[in-house]
Amino acid sequence: MGVGKTTIGRKLAKALKLPFIDSDNLITDEHGPIPAIFEERGEKVFRELEEQAMAKAIKEPAVVATGGGAIISSTTRRRLKNATVIYLSTDGKHIASRLKHGNRPLIQNGVEDWRRIYDERRSLYEASADFEINTSGQPLNASIQEIMEKLGRS
> For residue 6, which amino acid is it?
T
Q: pLDDT tens for residues 7-54?
A: 999 999 999 999 999 999 999 999 999 989 989 999 999 999 999 999
Phi, psi of 136, deg, nearest 5: -65, 125
4 has a pLDDT exceeding 90? no
114 has a pLDDT exceeding 80? no
Stated pTM of the model: 0.83
Domain residue extents for the chain: 5-140
106 has a pLDDT exceeding 60? no
Superfamily of the domain at 5-140: P-loop containing nucleotide triphosphate hydrolases (3.40.50.300)
Phi, psi of 87, deg, nearest 5: -95, 115
Q: What is the pLDDT of residue 94?
A: 63
| CB of 66 closer than 8 Å to CB of 27 | no
Q: pLDDT tens for residues 115-128?
A: 787 788 899 999 99
> For residue 24, which amino acid is it?
D
| CB of 16 closer than 8 Å to CB of 63 | yes
Q: What is the pLDDT of residue 110?
A: 59
- Say which residue, 76 or 118, is predicted with more confidence: 76
Q: Mean pLDDT, the chain, as a whole number?
A: 87
User: Nearest CA to 28 among 11, 12, 6?
Assistant: 6
